[in-house]
Amino acid sequence: MSRATADYDYMSFDDFEEFLADKPKNERWELIGGRVVKMMVGARWEHNYIIQNLASGIRERLRAAGSPCRTLTETFYLKERELNASLLPDVLVHCGPLPPGATSVQSPVVLVEVMSNGTEARDRMAKWHVYQRLPSLMHYVLVVQDRAHIETLDRIGGVWRGLQVIDGLDAILPLPGIGVEVPLADIYRDVLDPA
């Protein structure tokens, strides 16, 4: 492993995989474009509720539509060797079967990050730099915790369109790539008081 700066370690995907096997069980690590990042362990309850609400909201709608797509949450890896990436998105949607015992995917169609003050810059910049290069990805969703505000980047016809802003509990998060819409009122249920 080579040290590129005083703050971050850089390593290859294969070295990171070996490193993960020896990390302490109470720590979470990601490889973002070759940079090793220690993840926060123990998030705010609002973060957890939003992840649960969004994952279950998408999952229920996919099942109702008979879709082969399913949701996975923050302990399931997205791994892509060519991009030097081993990431733990808050919610991901994968379409198609998974082999028994799988702990990662390479081809998500939707990725969601619930942003905090500590992760917002990384979610907007470093992760987006990796995520946009995934050929399968159709939607990247950034969720704000403290107000009903969601931003999406959507790939339509193979081209990423500009940032879309969705505001307010009366609004709806559209995910046309998987045929799903989720009301923000459902996403922020038990987190934001509608009164």
For residue range 14-25, what is the model confidence (pLDDT) as tens digits? 999 988 888 777
The overall average pLDDT reported for the chain is 91
| Residue 133 pLDDT greater than 70, yes or no | yes
Average pLDDT value for residue range 56-69: 97
pLDDT of residue 89: 96
Specify the 3-state DSSP secondary structure of 111.
strand
Helix (H) or strand (E) holding 33: none
**The domain made up of 42-187 is a member of CATH 3.40.50.10540:** no
Q: What is the rounded distance in angstroms from the CA atom of residue 62 to the CA atom of residue 55?
A: 11
Question: Residue 62 in contact with residue 71, Cβ under 8 Å?
Answer: yes
Alpha helices in 31-152 (DSSP H): 45-64, 120-121, 128-131
pLDDT of residue 142: 98
State how far the alpha carbon of 139 is from the alpha carbons of 7, 68, 80, 160, in Å. 31, 17, 17, 9
- Give me 140's structure tokens: 């990247």
Q: Which residue has the higher pLDDT, 35 or 38?
A: 35
Average pLDDT value for residue range 178-191: 97
pLDDT of residue 30: 92
Model confidence band, residue 47 (pLDDT cutoffs 50, 70, 90): very high
Specify the 3-state DSSP secondary structure of 85.
strand
Q: What is the rounded distance in angstroms from the CA atom of residue 68 to the CA atom of residue 142?
A: 24
Which DSSP letter does residue 49 get? H
- List the domain boundaries for the chain: 42-187
